[in-house]
């Protein structure tokens, strides 16, 4: 089973989703991420979905779940790299990802996290 | 065909390799990366191989090629997240990745790039 690697930079965790996620890998990712947030004391999580070409309610729910979970662990979540077609599909599906913050790219996502915390989070 | 996403943070590009790379996807990655280095003026490239469980001479050559290519474009390359088993395999195969700089994780890789340039490269 493939696991999505979780990168750490300062107090931010970075996840780049490139594989097709099934139930089991989503569960593993959520568990791994929760453990890493607690172990590292990360204040922010950036999820990059540049490689995601097709999104469905399953992935949408996963993003919302991760954001809610991280919030409980005192970390903010930003989803970055959404393709225009994915945004269109999401809205057409009625999934507006309420509660999930988004930014155009990693750089803007990190800046958004810093803004949320009122400081530079890359340190 | 899947493409490996290239993330940008400050003047560093970050690549996380999670898919099995074949000839075509390696060529695409090299082309995409060279274009991004030039377009963004990036000074450093970090390649994360946390998810790579098996390495062979093909991947080893790719890493060396990318490092050489980036050097010509005035960017340093650091490979991070190598598993212990991968390091053992590489040495057993006689592939010591000469010319490719390595660091334990993304954080140390970014620090190594900053050290190479004599300044903080996350800005």
* Per-residue pLDDT tens digits for A67-120: 999 999 999 999 999 999 999 988 888 887 877 899 999 999 999 998 877 654
Residue A114: the pLDDT is 86
Contact state of A106 with B7 under an 8 Å Cβ cutoff: yes
The domain A6-117 is placed in CATH, from the list 3.40.50.300, 3.50.50.60, 3.30.750.24, 1.20.1330.10, at 3.30.750.24
User: Nearest Cβ partner of A18 from B9, B19, B122?
Assistant: B19
**B119 falls in which pLDDT band (50, 70, 90)?**
low
Residue A96 contacts B, CB cutoff 8 Å: no
pLDDT tens digit sequence for A1-17: 578 999 999 999 999 99
Q: How far is B100 from chain A (nearest CA, A)?
A: 20
Q: Where are the domains of chain A?
A: 6-117
Between A and B, how many CB-CB pairs are < 8 A?
Answer: 64
Q: Do A51 and B5 lie within an 8 Å CB cutoff?
A: yes
Instruction: Measure the CA–CA gap between B22 and B32, rounded to whole angstroms.
Output: 15
Segment B58-116, tens digit of pLDDT: 888 899 999 999 999 999 999 999 999 999 988 888 887 877 899 999 999 999 998 77
Burial of A98 by CB count in 10 Å (0-12 exposed, 13-18 middle, 19+ buried)?
A: exposed
CB contact under 8 A, B51 and A14: no
Between A4, A81, A106, which is nearest B9 by CB? A106
Residue among B5, B50, B107 whose CB faces A5 most closely: B50
Q: Does A53 touch chain B (CB under 8 A)?
A: no
Decide: A77 and A44 in contact? Cβ < 8 Å.
yes
Helix axes B23-40, B57-72, angle to 10 degrees: 20
C-alpha gyration radius of chain B: 13
Residue B113 has φ and ψ, to the nearest 5°, of -65, -40
Q: Do A16 and B5 touch (CB under 8 A)?
A: yes
Please check whether residue B5 touches A, CB under 8 A. yes
């Amino acid at each position: 089973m493939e696991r999505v690697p979780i990168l750490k930079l300062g107090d931010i965790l970075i996840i780049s989703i490139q594989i097709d996620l099934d139930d089991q890998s989503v569960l593993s990712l959520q568990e791994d991420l929760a453990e890493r947030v607690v172990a590292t004391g990360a204040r922010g999580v950036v999820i990059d979905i540049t490689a995601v070409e097709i999104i469905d309610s399953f992935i949408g729910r996963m993003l919302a779940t991760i954001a809610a979970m991280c919030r409980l662990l005192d970390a903010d979540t930003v989803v970055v790299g959404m393709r225009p077609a994915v945004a269109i599909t999401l809205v057409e599906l009625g999934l507006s990802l309420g509660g999930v913050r988004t930014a155009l790219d990693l750089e803007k996502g990190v800046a958004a996290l810093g803004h949320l915390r009122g400081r530079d989070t890359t340190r």
